[in-house]
Amino acid sequence: MVSGVGRFGLRGCREYAYIQASKGGGATVKVKKVPLERFSCTSLSSGLTATRPFPSEIDHEPMDGRKGTPTPLKSLPFGYTFTAGAIAGVTELLCLYPLDVVKTRIQLQGKVAIPGQDSYTGMVDCFQKIIKTEGFGRLYRGLVPPLMLEAPKRAVKFAANDFWATTYKQLTGSDKLTQNLSLLTGMSAGATESIVVVPFELVKIRLQDRNSSYKGPIDVVLKTVKSQGILGLYGGLESTFWRHVWWNGGYFASIFKIRAMMPKADSKTREVVNNFISGSIGGCLGTMVNTPFDVVKSRIQNTVVLPGEKPKYGWTYPAIVTIAKEEGLGALYKGFIPKVLRLAPGGGVLLVVVEVVTGYFRKQLGPPYSA
């Protein structure tokens, strides 16, 4: 006796259907284009009960995971993916934010030191001088904008990555992600994410600057709108776009490759370790690719452009050339150490938290979202 779960007509049409065979411990097999007139059928609310199908007309395809390729899990609904990304983002931010402050300070520092101001020789020196002259709390200066941003930002990152992965697989007719699709998916997710983050990034950068005279996030917004108009909050949009495109492309594409190279996890603990390692390496590679764009973004967003003035840094790629000529190629990697120390383990934290939270959601929802 076998049970069909597809939708069948009564006129002997040929359709795809899944049946559950009673033999062999209930292995699932796939039935393709079986003429329904060859079955003895009884209509049920969920499909049909059929007896004695003709073996020669059944194309068997193992689907129970014990043979062949297991059935891929259904993608989680958008709300669940969004929530998982939000939780991961806030967790990563609270753990590693001081490194972002140090990174920004070093990036904003020009080649020639300004008299009366501390000059930072590196990450440790920057940490020490900030704490000594401004207090430990200064390391969390500007936390509110990214904290408000982090939930939607990371949520958009992973939700957009899931959306674009599904979209590109459908467009290419592929049933799984390839290396090239992973790269394209990551870059598309980065482009989507960049649109959301620009105003928050601008406020954060201006608060983190050592010369900042702003009282807080609202003060930055009000003064920026007053002097530059509402579009002033989107200063650095183009450089932010490139920063996120290249980081996300490097991150998601490398995760795909690294996971394929790592030994298969045989326990939950090993799975967490694998995710952290692959996410950390992905974060490191993404940071290596996008740091020059991040330097340009920081400088553009920290510049208040008054009407009639021409900003020193305009478009991203010409700005990269300008910085390299005036300060040397090394200037394009200012703040790299604190940045990579944040985003490498940060990438690992993001991936681990997302996997744990989505795993919990899948378990609660059950099939077809979980095995």
pLDDT of the residue at 51: 37
- Summarize the confidence of residues 26-47 as an average pLDDT: 42
Task: Summarize pLDDT for 139-167 with one digit per residue, the tens.
Answer: 887 787 777 767 777 778 778 888 999 89
Q: Is the dihedral of CA 297, 298, 301, 306 positive or negative?
A: negative
Higher pLDDT, 113 or 354: 354
The neighbour count for residue 152, using CB atoms within 10 Å, is: 18
DSSP state of 267: S
Alpha-carbon Rg for the chain in angstroms: 27
The region that residue 176 occupies, defined by phi over 0 for left and psi between -120 and 50 for alpha, beta otherwise, is beta
Q: Which of 139, 34, 51 is nearest to 97 (CA)?
A: 139
What residue type is assigned to position 57 of the chain?
Answer: E
Task: Summarize pLDDT for 235-245 with one digit per residue, the tens.
Answer: 889 999 999 99
Task: Summarize pLDDT for 76-101 with one digit per residue, the tens.
Answer: 888 898 888 889 888 888 888 888 88
On whether the CB atoms of residues 6 and 18 are closer than 8 A, the answer is yes
Please tell me the pTM assigned to this model: 0.61
Higher pLDDT, 4 or 140: 140
Q: Which of 232, 239, 210 is nearest to 298 (CA)?
A: 239
Higher pLDDT, 363 or 109: 363
As a whole number of angstroms, the distance between CA 300 and CA 228 comes to 14
Grouping H, G, I as helix, E, B as strand and the rest as coil, residue 42 is strand
pLDDT of the residue at 221: 92
On whether the CB atoms of residues 51 and 38 are closer than 8 A, the answer is no
Residue 54 has pLDDT above 60, yes or no: no
As a whole number of angstroms, the distance between CA 323 and CA 110 comes to 10
Asked which of 137-151, 265-279, 285-299 is least confident by mean pLDDT, the reply is: 137-151
Please name the fold of domain 78-365: Mitochondrial carrier fold (1.50.40)
The neighbour count for residue 133, using CB atoms within 10 Å, is: 10
| Residue ranges of domains in the chain | 2-57, 78-365
